[in-house]
Amino acid sequence: MALQLGDEAPDFTTETSEGTISFHEWLGDSWGVLFSHPKDFTPVCTTELGAVARLKDEFDKRNTKVIAISVDTVESHKGWIPDINETQGTTVNFPIIADPDRKVADLYGMIHPNAGDSVTVRSVFIIGPDKKIKLTITYPQSTGRNFQEILRVLDSLQLTAKHQVSTPADWKEGDDVIIAPAISDEAAKEKFPAGWNTLRPYLRLTPQPK
């Protein structure tokens, strides 16, 4: 059965380009982004790992650890990393899981038979500090991911975990947010002292809480 939002992210122990890790222990109290690749030495993957390496400071600011996975071996990963560094003008600064037996890929449902019986599709899982899955996105092999969107979603997830708000379409950090419909106007006065704009009784916009 496919993993659903709110499910516990399966734990595992595995080899990576940075040594052996136990996934839940490695995450600790951080948020996590686990993203999969069809295989090493492929063009789109090379650009994606470079993009994530360049954004490492942004993930760090959000208390988020990133980790990639490919069905190839540690030796293959270590041979690929210099290519990524050179062609993308960066340094890979996060672990890449080696999964030649597809144990982790199967745990997370990353093998889609209709897309190929042996390679992982481009899956993204955002995992909270409670080890629950907060977001899943699946891309086809031919389409590179937009990691600015993944940062945007992280901002939304972290904000809405702390406050009784939702974020509207195309929201970005600093934009107005939506007060949860379950909160009465009376309760909202205390929770949102900056006030709000009522477009409809169920649609109240308020400045983003700090």
Amino acid identity, residue 105?
Answer: A
The values of phi and psi at residue 2, to 5°, are: -65, 145
Please identify every residue annotated as catalytic: 45
* Contact status, residue 209 vs residue 163, Cβ threshold 8 Å: yes
Can you list the positions of beta strands (E) in the chain? 13-16, 19-22, 31-37, 64-70, 96-98, 122-127, 133-139, 165-166, 177-179, 197-200, 203-206
Residue 22 CB contacts under 8 Å (≥ 6 apart), including other chains: 11, 12, 13
Q: What own/partner pairs with CB < 8 Å and gap ≥ 24 does 113-118 have? A: 115/140, 115/141, 116/38, 116/141, 118/71
Whether the CB-CB separation of 41 and 81 falls below 8 Å is answered with: no
In this structure, what token pair is assigned to residue 204? 């109240």
Spatial separation of the C-alpha atoms in residues 28 and 25, rounded to whole Å:
5
